[in-house]
Amino acid sequence: MYTHRHADSSDLGDTSHPGFPGAMSIFPRKGGGGRGSSHSSGSKGGGSSSHVQLGSHTGMPSGKTVSAYSAGGGKSFTLGSSSPFSGRLAGGGTRSQVFGNSRYGSGYPYGSYGTYIDDRPLPYVFYPVPIYPNYYGSDTYTNFNETQRPGGNITIAVLRAPSLPNTTEIYRIVGDQLSTSAVLDALVTDCNVQNTTLSPFNASDGTDSWPLPEQIVQWYRASSFGLSLDSYNNTAALPSNMPPSNDSLSPPLSDDTPLPTDLNTTYLSCLNKTIGASVPLVDPPYKPSAAMIVLFVFAGIVILWCAVAAIYNFALACVPLLELMGDLWSAIDHWLWKIRDKHRRRQYSTVEETDWEVGAGS
């Protein structure tokens, strides 16, 4: 029997959970970063989701980018005036902190006070998914267009795995367009999920919009990305069981409905691990490795040595020219002295002749 257990950022070191490894080590797939991109609804994955700038209306500091498989991290910052949440603290969330659990509002590395999420920081920059009307304050993040919402409009992708035996369950991923596309590409590669189209998600009226809060198996990235199972009905996450205010306690995790016992846990494990590894995060500041630092120092020494050698060789090449200029100057100076000496002698000769003539006439 498969027993559902919640993986969150506090127990990432625990590998005892057989089917839902939020604790498993996360490694990028071979070949580097993800290949998803920001696509219009109804398009399939593809393109690039590396070092994507989120646009000027999100309040992100200039130069910051997001990437699939990014390690995240860096210092938190204040969103700029162009953001709908200007002045709110954002960023700093790391890959190791990306797992929440099945409850909305889980997985915040900081600022997770109370049970509602409307006034919380945005540790991963991406906004929480407005999963249902008036659900834990999620309406705060509902009415934003694709240029205001980091990553674009909220979209879903239905996950099917035709190549895996005994896998009939239907999962869905939900999040901003950039993230859904990037994660779908990773799941196609790593979990043999069938490539599919992205569909818009709008839970504004609470009808006919799957996934529903009670279908969510796992939230990621401070509830800004989710994995759901169509056949799951977690009564503890029903809107009717939501606490009346931010200061009220939500139902304990022990009240969660167990996952169905007939699931292909290997497939679910792959989905969970791959989503946790690939969902886009803000890129960390560039830090050169020790090898790069050594290379830079060595290159600096080589450049300095070449500069000194060039100056020395230039000086050696100039010595004959300087000697020639010295000889020329000496010759000119000697010639000038001769002219001045001749002129002085002429002056003295003129005075003596004049004196003699005067004396002769007396």
Q: What is the 3-state secondary structure (H, E, C) of 295-337?
A: HHHHHHHHHHHHHHHHHHHHHHHHHHHHHHHHHHHHHHHHHHH
> Which range among 235-249, 264-278, 296-310 shows the weakest confidence by mean pLDDT?
296-310
> Which range among 79-93, 166-180, 289-303 shows the weakest confidence by mean pLDDT?
289-303
**Which is more confident, 7 or 310?**
310
Cα 167 versus chain centre, distance: 34
Which residues in the chain belong to E strands, given as ranges?
66-67, 77-78, 89-90, 154-159, 171-176, 199-200, 216-220, 225-229, 281-282
pLDDT digit string (tens) for 76-102? Answer: 999 999 999 999 999 999 999 999 999
- Whether residue 173 contacts residue 156, with contact meaning beta carbons closer than 8 Å, is answered with yes
Average pLDDT, the chain: 80
pLDDT digit string (tens) for 129-147? Answer: 999 999 999 999 998 888 8
> Residue 268 pLDDT > 90, yes or no?
yes
Which helix (H) or strand (E) covers residue 341, if one does? helix 290-360
- Whether residue 105 contacts residue 136, with contact meaning beta carbons closer than 8 Å, is answered with yes
Instruction: Give mean pLDDT, residues 325-348.
Output: 72
- Whether residue 168 contacts residue 160, with contact meaning beta carbons closer than 8 Å, is answered with no
Largest CA distance in the chain: 152
Predicted confidence at residue 27, as pLDDT, reads 33
Paired strand residues for 157: 173
Predicted confidence at residue 346, as pLDDT, reads 62
Prediction pTM value: 0.70
Q: Quote the CA–CA distance of 280 and 312 in Å, as a whole number.
A: 54
Q: Quote the CA–CA distance of 342 and 305 in Å, as a whole number.
A: 55
Predicted confidence at residue 334, as pLDDT, reads 78
Predicted confidence at residue 294, as pLDDT, reads 73
Coil vs helix vs strand at 283: coil
Which residues in 140-220 belong to E strands, given as ranges?
154-159, 171-176, 199-200, 216-220
| Helices 177-191 and 265-278: angle between axes, nearest 10 degrees | 130
Domain spans of the chain?
A: 1-287, 292-362
> Residue 49 pLDDT > 80, yes or no?
no
**Which is more confident, 63 or 223?**
223
pLDDT digit string (tens) for 52-79? Answer: 888 777 888 888 899 999 999 999 999 9
- Rounded percentage of the chain residues whose pLDDT exceeds 90: 50
**Which is more confident, 328 or 36?**
328
Phi first, then psi: give them for residue 94, nearest 5 degrees. -110, 170
Q: Which two tokens stand for residue 183?
A: 């994660």
